[in-house]
Amino acid sequence: MFFFHFFTALPCCLTLLCLLLFKTPPPDIQLYRYSGDLCGSPLPPGRPRVVIYVSRNLSQHLSCSTVFHHSSGMVSIDVFSPEGLCGSPYHSLRVSSVYLLGTNRPPYHSIPPEWVFSFLSWPHLVLGDFNLHYQVADPCCSLSEREFIISTSCIDAAFDVPYHFLNTPEVYTRFPFDTISRPSVLDLAFPNTALSPLVSSWDTPLPSTGSENVSCVITLKPPGILLPPPTPHWALLDLEAVGKAHDTFTTLPCPARPTPNSLSRWFDIFSARLTSLLTSYAPSKRPCPHSKPWSSPHLSCLRTEYHKFARLSRLDPSPLN
């Protein structure tokens, strides 16, 4: 299960929910619309293996249409935003949910990877249960020759387009109920080059869904929301205090027989200690990332006085107040 959040110019969070079905019809979910109700292409034969649900908040503000493919194991939804997607020049976004099964013959998958990872000039996110083991996502797993062929044929097809791997390594997405099998990573996500700069996070913060697979949450945010941290105001550096602290400043001795790794580690430790010393005597240009560059400690006093007189004015709306 994937939750896909993204932000537009609207003051709200818009959500897509991707589910994997096991021989069951698509369920009714409150506050969400089934993607089959937003058909932009004919329904594929057979019962769908994957579905996408759209939050009613999204379908009310943006244009959404479902794209079905030749296989019941893949479905896509196109989202159109006339104001631009997350502050980017792109107005369209495609999210594809897939369910792959391994085969013994080329292309070694129930759906050819070239169909899954198609080239698009606008943002495209491919996610789902790939039923393969990828050693970058799960470095501790050991692969048989067949599993290695299945994995590399799919991953190489993604990187050739190119798509980028989004999962955090060693964060498991499947926890078997039996005590013999180990956790694994079967639910993968791949944004293309146009979408990668807009991805804010990939995480598994939600509680158990009752199945072996956990929910994955992918969030997009405009680049402008990711504010830089406050930087020191070097013009106000207290040089006198730094000079006094420098007398007691000690460094680790340089390695007697330095190697590139040991010398680099020694330099990093020395640089970190020196930077910490200087920043402790230099005020920040902004108290927090959301403060304005012209922020000043006097603003707190002015804000206190303003609210005090604002309360007096509401209690006694006389000309004097």
Q: Quick one: what percent of the chain has pLDDT higher than 70? A: 75
Candidate from 10-19, 51-60, 92-101, 244-253 with smallest mean pLDDT: 10-19
| Ordered DSSP codes for 254-266 | PPSS--HHHHHHH
When pLDDT is averaged across residues 288-295 and rounded to a whole number, the result is 57
**Model's pTM, two decimal places?**
0.62
pLDDT of 4 over the 80 cut: no
CB 47 within 8 A of CB 23: yes
User: d(Cα 310, Cα 210) in Å, to the nearest integer?
Assistant: 53
pLDDT of 9 over the 50 cut: no
Domain 2-225 belongs in CATH node 3.30.56.10: no
- Chain mean pLDDT for the chain: 76
When pLDDT is averaged across residues 52-74 and rounded to a whole number, the result is 74
pLDDT score at 8: 41
pLDDT score at 54: 77
Where are the chain's structural domains?
Answer: 2-225, 234-315
pLDDT of 258 over the 60 cut: yes
pLDDT tens-digit readout, 114-148: 889 999 888 999 988 888 888 888 888 888 888 88
CB 49 within 8 A of CB 98: no
Alpha-carbon distance values, 285 to 235, 247, 251, 301 (Å): 10, 27, 29, 18
User: d(Cα 215, Cα 183) in Å, to the nearest integer?
Assistant: 14
When pLDDT is averaged across residues 86-93 and rounded to a whole number, the result is 80
